[in-house]
Amino acid sequence: MQGFLIPTLRRTPPGKEANLHDFAMHKLGFIVWLMPVLFLPNLLHLAIALVVRIVFFDIALNIGAGDPVFNVGNTAKTDKIIQSIAPRLGGTAASFSAGIKLLFFLLLCVGLYLFN
């Protein structure tokens, strides 16, 4: 079922509906995800939850939608920032996104190693 829903949700509607779509997908979805995270026992757990979300959310969404794994959309503010920064650094948005995710994943691994 989710395989059918994700591509539908990922299609940005035209006009004013695009803002409502962006709000529902990115802002409201993040708030709903963040609510239980706020009750984690300490800051280390919160940091782990945030890094896991940064690294795996877009990858899972892209796989479910049938897009390339590190595909960068054009609706979220972070997508727009990545789309504008990547060419200035001489790369593609997908490679920049992959680099960011790899960096956060490595930070997570180092942090878990140091705090355990």
Q: What is the pLDDT along the chain (116 residues), one digit of tens a residue?
A: 444 455 555 566 667 776 776 676 667 666 776 777 777 777 777 778 888 888 888 888 888 778 888 999 887 788 889 999 999 999 999 999 999 999 988 988 888 888 77
pLDDT, position 9 = 57
Q: How many CB atoms lie within 10 A of CB 116?
A: 6
Tokens representing residue 54 in the block: 């940064």
Q: Cβ distance 96 to 90 under 8 Å?
A: no
pTM of the model as a whole: 0.64
Domain ranges of the chain: 2-115
